[in-house]
Structure 1
Amino acid sequence: MNNVYSLRQRLFVLILTPLLLMALLLGYWRFTVAQTTAEELFDRSLLSAALAISRDVAISGGDALSPTTSDLISDATGGEVFYHATGPGGIYVTGYAYPPAGTVTNRADIHAPVYFEAQYRGETVRVLRIVERVAIDGVTGNATVTVWQRISDRSRFAAELALRAAGLIGVLLFTLALVVWFGVALGLRPLLDLQQAIAIRSPNDLSQIKRAIPIEAQGIVETLNRLFAKVEDSIAAHQVFISNAAHQLRNPAAAVQSMAEALQDSPTPAQRDQRIDELVAAARNSARVADQLLSMDRLRQPMPDGHTETFDLTQELRTICAEAGPSVLRHNIDFELIAPEHPVDIHGDRLFIAEAIKNLIDNALKHGGPDLTSITVDLHPDDTTAMVTVMDDGKGLSPEDSALALGRFSQVEPSEGSGLGLAIVVSVAERHDGSLVINRVDKGASVTLRLPRAK
């Protein structure tokens, strides 16, 4: 199942999610600060009101509060303020008759303001009580001023502060969301332009992408350019391979057709038998070329999973030589295998490695010339490498001829072969992190296939 998502939406969520979390934390912090601020403001307003009432009581002799004090009490920070004042001896002076009662601990300084919470008419209130030395009608003593305010008024004020902050944060978040949504769209526009530029390309156009792109997308474009180059090289290689394959298959096919037509016109049974043998040989050669072409094409593909194994190269060589021996001996050529008695384990594709060794033997048989009398297969391993050397005493092969001998569809000298035998061996060696080397010898040819040993 394919997961389809929008890069724009992904960036939108990635950017706004931490901002939203930060906004929640900021909102909680702002609400806490609002509560603290409200408490401080209301406590200060209570203190201001209490001091003003105490002053007016002392100045007016307890008759009335000044207009300024009355305005202060009525305009206190968004909530109603209640008060109660008594003169020396606890005589009622002004204010509400029954102030809220509260427990006040013993204090060293009785004139210091005291804050506490209490119940007043079924509601929780914040109370401030101060005691000051005053003289009323010639009587000097302590005057007590009590002011109080509902806690609900404070909470409402704090909630209003928090809501204002939340509204501001919400507006900022909404604005930021719009900016991010449309900003991401503008930021992704070069990628959309790049997509359109690629979409309108012809399927045959694998040239490099050359256009102004953001730095963040340069890696993608460079990867695409490398991929285009590889695809173009692969297509070109396939076209060359198909052209060469068609050329190589044309001659065997023409030979088979020619011999089949000649077989129909054979005047005698002896000639018919001879042409049948020639037709069978041509058909085998054609099949061999087709097999080599298929092998070369398979070697171009990545190695599939499960096609490799660890096996004993010594035993595999014995099997290969046992199968190739009759064909070699039929040409009156000595055939020898030199291999250690102990196992030599390697890891790889058994079928490809076996085909590579068969191609080395077949190459020695086909290109050894008329003086060929012996072919030797020698396995000599060391700690890290298994080396299979195929030697013959034929007309020889020099390391200087490596480019021609190891190339595809090329030969040092014209022969009945297709020019793919050693090229397949080279591909098998490279596929297994090995190599194929033409050795310098005094007589004949010596070719060594090196393969890493299994760990």
Structure 2
Amino acid sequence: ETISRERRFTSDAAHELRTPLTAIKTHLQVARITHGKDTEEAMDYAEEGVARLQRTLSQLLTLSQVEGAFSWNDGRVAEAHEVARLAMRDAAPDAPERIALDSDGNRAELALPQALAVTALRNLLDNALRHSPAANSVRLEIRHSPETVSFHVFDRGPGLSDDELALATQRFWRRGSGRGSGLGLSVVAAIAERFDGSFELRRRPDGGLEAQLTLPGIQPTSAKQAPLFEKPAN
């Protein structure tokens, strides 16, 4: 079953990588035989294809590391508000006003590497921003419990049907001809599973989606124990 799953994944990955590569090659060929505005437009499209390819490769690399026997220890403490700050900066560098942060301000450390926590939250914010009207802000809430920290991302997009919600975390799934690699939510789910957290998508009564990412926290009494994120993958 594992071998079959990996073969399907490899086949899907090859298809996803082939598409932007073909587009890049086509636009570069157009740039060679055109001049002026047509050349500039072809180069812009080729650059867009390179960016898409780079995002896809980055997500694939993260997936392979999270699901493998990779030992994560980047030496950085993952503090919830710092994770939120970095993820918001990466998701909306040119329009920070589109993300509204709501938190009680309490400090909480997460039992996983900072880089992975930021990656998971950034993917959720990217997804919410992509599907929300430009005029509407995405809201990020940080909620604490004695043992966990939950990040809630609310958007004003079109939402998903029950069938689409069931497919949303599958690799390479996109709604219709949507943009993106179709890997962002798969990465979030893989990170949550690797570190004994949880990830859930649900429809909002007034429209849009709520994405909830719950991650384990480090308790003050166990701060000197070995980091939980060094355990091997199952």
TM-score by length of 1: 0.45
The amino acid that maps onto 1:443 is: G
- The aligned residue for residue 142 of structure 2 is 379
Which structure has the larger Rg over C-alpha atoms? Answer: 1
- 1:294-373 matched pairs, under 5 angstroms: 294-304=61-71, 306=73, 310-327=77-94, 329=95, 334-368=98-132, 373=136
Is residue 123–residue 188 contact of structure 2 (8 Å, CA) maintained in 1?
yes
Is residue 116–residue 191 contact of structure 2 (8 Å, CA) maintained in 1?
yes
- The aligned residue for residue 447 of structure 1 is 211
Unaligned runs of 5+ in 1: 1-232
- 1:266-300 CA-to-partner distances (Å, cap 9, x unmatched) read 23x22222222222111101111111111111122
TM-score by length of 2: 0.84
Pairs aligned (count): 218
CA distance in 2, matches of 1:303, 1:246: 23
Following superposition, the deviation at residue 317 of structure 1 comes to: 1.0
Following superposition, the deviation at residue 400 of structure 1 comes to: 4.9
- 1:268-283 matched pairs, under 5 angstroms: 269-283=36-50
The amino acid that maps onto 1:392 is: D
Is residue 388–residue 450 contact of structure 1 (8 Å, CA) maintained in 2?
yes
- 1:29-77 CA-to-partner distances (Å, cap 9, x unmatched) read xxxxxxxxxxxxxxxxxxxxxxxxxxxxxxxxxxxxxxxxxxxxxxxxx
- The aligned residue for residue 261 of structure 1 is 29
Is residue 252–residue 283 contact of structure 1 (8 Å, CA) maintained in 2?
yes
Q: Does 1:252 align with 2:14?
A: no
2:174 to 399, 411, 415: 411
Is residue 309–residue 348 contact of structure 1 (8 Å, CA) maintained in 2?
no
2:59 to 279, 288, 292: 292
Following superposition, the deviation at residue 248 of structure 1 comes to: 0.8
CA distance in 2, matches of 1:257, 1:416: 19
Is residue 366–residue 417 contact of structure 1 (8 Å, CA) maintained in 2?
no
| Richer in helix (by share) | 1
Is residue 92–residue 98 contact of structure 2 (8 Å, CA) maintained in 1?
no
- 1:237-290 CA-to-partner distances (Å, cap 9, x unmatched) read 2212211110110111111111111112223x2222222222211110111111
CA distance in 2, matches of 1:334, 1:311: 24
Is residue 398–residue 438 contact of structure 1 (8 Å, CA) maintained in 2?
no
- 1:14-413 matched pairs, under 5 angstroms: 233-267=1-35, 269-304=36-71, 306=73, 310-327=77-94, 329=95, 334-368=98-132, 373-398=136-161, 400-413=163-176
Specify whether residues 399 and 337 from structure 1 end up closer, same or farther in structure 2 by C-alpha distance, changes over 3 A only. Answer: farther
Higher RCO (C-alpha under 8 Å, 6+ residues apart): 2
The amino acid that maps onto 1:253 is: L
Is residue 83–residue 117 contact of structure 2 (8 Å, CA) maintained in 1?
no
The amino acid that maps onto 1:394 is: G
Q: Does 1:421 align with 2:188?
A: no
The amino acid that maps onto 2:53 is: S
Tell me the SS of whatever aligns to 2:93. Answer: helix
Unaligned runs of 5+ in 2: 220-234
Tell me the SS of whatever aligns to 1:258. Answer: helix
- Percentage of identical aligned residues: 28
